[in-house]
């Protein structure tokens, strides 16, 4: 499912549950030793997905430890992103010769709790969502906006090492499955240029909202085969 919103150069693996047996690295187990069982199981399953995606690109298996803000730390030469929500886990990986960064997010396709949209959305974003709700009422645009901003942050943070508030990116969602995020703060420097706009894609499928943002690097894009459950 997630592969549908990603370029073909990105390896993707996903699961709908935590039933597959996982033998975690000791370092990974230590990172979540005090977590609740549900959190620990999702942590390990999504890292199983990450190693399957890495294998598709010929990257040796390795621990995927959380960084200082919980972000996954990828092996040299790789960029990636992970996400998990109720009933879904996914990891994507790409070579740094192809992508400078990638961010993905999955959310249940249901409305946000009351008051959350006012917290995360700029006035212009709320106006656009209201218009979309009139023309495409079957989509929960508020949840989609939240997911898109989460994906943008997951691309942003490894490139900058900085927090990105909800009001520091103006996201425009399109009914055709695309979206853009205009950064309202100085963007990251990539290959000698400052990037102020991220482009992404979204999909609603199987009761899930899926979003992905990628940023090209230099080099060609090799083919890949997706890894599915």
pLDDT per position as a tens digit, 44-69: 999 999 999 999 999 999 999 999 88
- Is residue 155 in some structural domain? yes
Closest CA to 7 of 151, 222, 203: 222
Could you tell me the CATH number of the domain that includes residue 192?
A: 3.90.470.20
Paired residues of 6 in beta bridges = none
Confidence tier at 218 by pLDDT (50, 70, 90): low
Percent residues over pLDDT 90 in the chain: 92
- Is residue 224 in some structural domain? no
Closest CA to 2 of 218, 206, 217, 215: 206
Paired residues of 103 in beta bridges = 213
C-alpha dihedral, 200 to 205 to 206 to 210, nearest 10°: 10
Confidence tier at 223 by pLDDT (50, 70, 90): very low
Contact 16, 207 (CB under 8 A): no
Instruction: State the average pLDDT for the chain.
Output: 93
- Is residue 222 in some structural domain? no
- Is residue 132 in some structural domain? yes
Tell me what the mean pLDDT of segment 119-129 comes to. 98
- Is residue 124 in some structural domain? yes
What's the total number of domains in the chain? 1
Tell me what the mean pLDDT of segment 145-168 comes to. 97
- Is residue 34 in some structural domain? yes
pTM: 0.93
pLDDT of residue 191: 87
- Is residue 223 in some structural domain? no
Confidence tier at 228 by pLDDT (50, 70, 90): very low
Residue 40 has pLDDT above 60, yes or no: yes
Domain encompassing residue 43? 2-216
- Is residue 198 in some structural domain? yes
Residue 224 has pLDDT above 70, yes or no: no
């Amino acid at each position: 499912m997630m592969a549908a919103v990603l370029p073909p150069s990105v390896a993707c693996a996903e699961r709908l549950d935590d039933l597959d047996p996982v033998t975690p690295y000791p370092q990974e187990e230590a990172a979540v030793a005090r977590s609740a069982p549900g959190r620990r199981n999702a942590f390990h399953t999504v890292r199983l997905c990450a190693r399957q995606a890495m294998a598709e690109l010929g990257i040796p298996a390795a621990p995927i430890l959380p960084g200082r803000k919980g972000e996954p730390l990828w092996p040299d030469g790789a960029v990636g992103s992970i996400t998990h929500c109720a009933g879904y886990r996914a990891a994507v990986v790409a070579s740094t010769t192809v992508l400078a960064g990638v961010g993905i997010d999955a959310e249940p396709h249901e409305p946000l709790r009351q008051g959350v949209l006012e917290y995360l959305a700029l006035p212009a974003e709320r106006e656009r969502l209201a218009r979309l709700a009139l023309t495409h009422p079957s989509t929960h645009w508020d949840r989609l906006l939240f997911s898109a901003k989460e994906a943008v942050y997951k691309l942003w943070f490894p490139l900058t090492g900085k927090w990105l508030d909800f009001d520091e990116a103006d996201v425009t969602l399109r009914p055709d499955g695309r979206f853009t995020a205009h950064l309202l703060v100085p963007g990251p420097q990539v290959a000698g240029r400052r990037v102020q706009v991220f482009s992404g894609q979204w999909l609603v499928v199987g009761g899930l909202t899926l979003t992905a943002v990628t940023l090209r690097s230099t080099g060609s894009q090799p083919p890949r085969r997706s890894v599915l459950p």
